[in-house]
């Protein structure tokens, strides 16, 4: 049996993007993080699982308070690096949406997804 713990569609503002003006003013990012546990949680004990608050706080600290980066792929990697260090986590999937990403035409949604370890499926 595998267990997935997640925080989905967490909107947080940050200053990230390829263009200088994107790194000067806050813009919204919508982040979802799913993690699989190494072992099933047991005995109704949170220490055998992963706290949702840990996932949300990690995303907030990195997107809102972390160093500005150019690419969403880099944000994914930084979040995965932090989350994957949790002793109960075996795998991570992250999705970052950037609703106000500058694109040449109206419509569409900029999205990046990454998984760890590489090749893992959710």
pTM of the full predicted structure? Answer: 0.93
Active site residue 98: yes
pLDDT of residue 4: 95
List the catalytic residue out of 15, 25, 38, 98.
98
pLDDT of residue 96: 98
Low-confidence ranges of the chain (pLDDT < 50): none
> The CATH number of 4-116 is which of 3.20.20.370, 3.30.1130.10, 1.20.140.10, 3.30.930.20?
3.30.1130.10
Contact 62, 81 (CB under 8 A): no
């Amino acid at each position: 049996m595998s267990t997935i713990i997640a925080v989905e569609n967490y909107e947080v503002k940050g200053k990230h993007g390829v263009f200088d003006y994107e790194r000067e003013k806050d813009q919204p990012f919508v982040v979802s993080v799913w993690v699989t546990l190494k072992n099933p949680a047991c005995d109704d004990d949170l220490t055998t699982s992963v706290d949702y608050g840990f996932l949300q706080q990690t995303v907030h600290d990195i997107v809102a308070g972390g160093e500005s980066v150019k690419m969403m792929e880099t944000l994914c990697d930084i979040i995965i690096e932090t989350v994957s260090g949790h002793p109960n986590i075996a795998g991570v999937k992250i999705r970052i949406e950037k609703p106000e990403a500058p694109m040449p035409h109206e419509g569409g949604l900029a999205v990046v997804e990454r998984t760890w370890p590489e090749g893992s499926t959710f």
